[in-house]
Structure 1
Amino acid sequence: MPSVRYTILPSLLAAGTLLAGSVLADERSDWPERVHLGTASLGGTYQVYGDGLVTRISDELGVLALSQASGGPFHNMTLVHTGEAELGLVTLGPARELWDGEGVVAPGEEMRNVRALFPMYQTPFHVVTMADSGIESLEDLSGRRVGVGPMGGTCAAYWPQFFEALGIEDVNLQYAGANHLADYLPSRLSDAFAFCAGLPIRAFQRLERNHDVHMFGLTEAQQATLLEAFPVEPFEIPADTYATMDAPHASVAFWNFAIGHKDLPESFVYELMTLVLDDPEAMQAIHPAAVETRAEHLDKNDVLWFHPGAVRYYEEQGLEVPTAMLPPEMRPEEADPEDAEVEAAPEDEATEQDAASNSQ
């Protein structure tokens, strides 16, 4: 008898393994062979975060993932909407503009093929200059050459609007990637670099390691003005963010979210959500800003509908996705106004007949 038992058991285990493998293969049958992730310019947080994320997707999900340098959120929304990239990283300010069809590049086109996935971190705005530049605050940027990031990025879109709202005139704007603009300062090709990204910004760190620099944010009055004029949140840059800082800086920030095309398989997005949100330490190892990559921050998105795979993940974590942020196919059925009109017709006809009878 014992010999029979030990010969059957391996067979059962093998059969179970084959069955599990078959089920897994079925679940992944519609998965893409490769995905592209839109990030941003070199030296910014998107590039670091995105490069680390595609490595994890390739290594742990078995799907070839490639990082695609881009102009930033505006560009990434367009890439995902058109299907040129399956995944992307965005800040919610630019995302709202393109979602509502208010983008400058494609005015009137509502980019609704995009779905929200998981929260990433907040993007605060602040400025770095050379220590001997004589620039101490935003007011000193008037008439100066100021780098604001690449065209199509959040910083390049909003810093000019911030300057206008704060009454800072005659700023000579320069557009380029984070690393290039950081290099312009010691070369005296720029007077200041006004940027925004998850903290710490690698380009700022590299600059202060090799040069004497000065960093600053907003005054309380400037912060209040921007909070009233733009869909941003108050933010305080901690004093220990950079070696150069000796006190916190007031700022404002947008939330960042990962996005995906609406046609990505639900099971793939669910596994991606699990990969990112179930192992926060692995994401923080990619970049410290990922300390805010947490499922509970889903409520920061009030712009984009969530992907069904993301909704499934959140619900399994006991978190509720607001109805307004559900994709149309997942919303509770509502009465069709046209049906209501049809149902009301017989009663209306009966009322008219009664009225006619009474008049006779």
Structure 2
Amino acid sequence: MRNKMPKTLALIAGGALVAAATAHAEVDRDGWPSSFTVGTASQGGTFYIYGSGWANLIADQLGGITGGGEVTGGPTQNLALVHAGELAFGLTTLGPADDAMNGRSPLAPGVVMDNACALFPMYETPFSISALASKGITSIADIPDGSRIGFGPAGSTSDVYFPAILEELGVNFERRNGGWSDLGGQLQDGLLDVIAFAAGVPIPAVSQLEVQTNINIIEFTEEEQARVIEAFPVSEFTIPASTYETLEEDARAVSMWNFAIAGCDLPESLVYEVTRLTMENNDRMISIHRSAEESIPENIVYNTVMPFHPGAARWFNENGYEIADDMIRQ
């Protein structure tokens, strides 16, 4: 005999459905697109996994709108694409964001890209270095002159900042670009000596490498870390030993914050809902990528370079995370 739902529970469930439907209907969808795309980075990197998963989560939660991630050149290109209105959303890093908003983007020198607004904090991007154990490179000082170093996609945060960081530390190298998965394969095949990663940890390409071969994850010395922090918009970071099987203890590094961005002219109601759904579903964000543990409202304080979209700012301010008027796009 089929079980029947008790009358009281049926009434509660029915009421909840009506309430949900009413709340859904009350959202102002005027001007919303029927679909959206999130600019990520190369396949195999954290931006791609995080951004594609986030796009699917938002599309699923919003209903009636489709969304997905798009492979791009990373933070610098995402800023340009969102600024130009070619993408609704994107993922970026605050260093490249500051450059773009002040006309210093390597993609368009002199062009002020100010039509991209901040949404929410994602996570810190550690700058880390890996090499095959067989190369005998265990420190930055060990990197031989003329080493072939992979810096990720051209125009990415890694490509913009890591060469300058290593030059600051006296490393002479041959520069190589490409997607992280491709560079990992080149390292394993002996076509590269070192990969300098700027990506959320654990980096999928590194996790794959350490399963297939023996690698060294090279940390900064205290002196190197302090020198880099003095010269670049980065902060102290520690890669926990639990991040990789290769690490036996925590590794010293530096990092730069990442934020999700949106076109400043997107409807406020859409951006409010996107921000709300992201900030109120952190457990689901973490299931997309572990780095989303840092995708929490408290970390909005790390954005001091680009204004927040009014829709995002409204959610934060309504929930006790104050954003000053001068940091909200007017």
Show structure 2 runs of 5+ residues with no match.
1-10
Whole-Å Cα distance in 2 between the matches of residues 216 and 107 of structure 1? 34
CA separation of 1:281 and 1:17: change in aligned 2, threshold 3 A: closer
Whole-Å Cα distance in 2 between the matches of residues 47 and 148 of structure 1? 16
Within a 5 Å distance, the mapping from 1:162-311 to structure 2 comes to: 162-169=165-172, 171-311=173-313
Query: What SS does the corresponding residue of 1:305 show, helix, strand or coil?
Result: coil
What is aligned with 1:35? 36
CA separation of 1:31 and 1:25: change in aligned 2, threshold 3 A: farther
Alpha carbons 2:107, 2:155 under 8 Å: kept: no
Q: Structure 1 length normalisation: TM-score?
A: 0.84
Within a 5 Å distance, the mapping from 1:1-360 to structure 2 comes to: 24=25, 27-62=28-63, 63-141=65-143, 142-169=145-172, 171-327=173-329, 329=330
What is aligned with 1:358? none
1:36-66 deviation per Cα after TM superposition (whole angstroms, max 9, x unaligned):
1000001110011011111112211122112
Whole-Å Cα distance in 2 between the matches of residues 208 and 40 of structure 1? 22
Whole-Å Cα distance in 1 between the matches of residues 195 and 289 of structure 2? 22
Deviation of 1:24 after TM superposition, in Å, equals 2.1
Whole-Å Cα distance in 1 between the matches of residues 69 and 136 of structure 2? 39
Query: What SS does the corresponding residue of 1:291 show, helix, strand or coil?
Result: helix
Alpha carbons 1:39, 1:72 under 8 Å: kept: yes
Deviation of 1:233 after TM superposition, in Å, equals 0.9
Alpha carbons 1:125, 1:217 under 8 Å: kept: no
Matched residue count = 315
Show structure 1 runs of 5+ residues with no match.
1-9, 330-360
Superposed CA RMSD in Å reads 2.0
Alpha carbons 2:77, 2:107 under 8 Å: kept: no
1:224 maps to amino acid = A
Whole-Å Cα distance in 2 between the matches of residues 26 and 274 of structure 1? 12
Query: What SS does the corresponding residue of 2:216 show, helix, strand or coil?
Result: strand
1:161-190 deviation per Cα after TM superposition (whole angstroms, max 9, x unaligned):
101211222x01110000000011121111
Whole-Å Cα distance in 2 between the matches of residues 266 and 24 of structure 1? 16
Deviation of 1:22 after TM superposition, in Å, equals 9.9
Deviation of 1:17 after TM superposition, in Å, equals 5.8
Q: What is the percent sequence identity of the aligned residues?
A: 41
What is aligned with 1:340? none
What is aligned with 1:345? none
CA separation of 1:299 and 1:33: change in aligned 2, threshold 3 A: same
Query: What SS does the corresponding residue of 1:185 show, helix, strand or coil?
Result: helix
2:275 maps to amino acid = M
CA separation of 1:37 and 1:23: change in aligned 2, threshold 3 A: closer
Whole-Å Cα distance in 2 between the matches of residues 45 and 284 of structure 1? 12
Alpha carbons 2:268, 2:310 under 8 Å: kept: yes
Q: Structure 2 length normalisation: TM-score?
A: 0.91
Deviation of 1:26 after TM superposition, in Å, equals 6.5
Deviation of 1:104 after TM superposition, in Å, equals 2.0
CA separation of 1:184 and 1:316: change in aligned 2, threshold 3 A: same
Query: What SS does the corresponding residue of 1:111 show, helix, strand or coil?
Result: coil
Alpha carbons 2:76, 2:107 under 8 Å: kept: no
Alpha carbons 2:162, 2:198 under 8 Å: kept: no
2:37 maps to amino acid = H
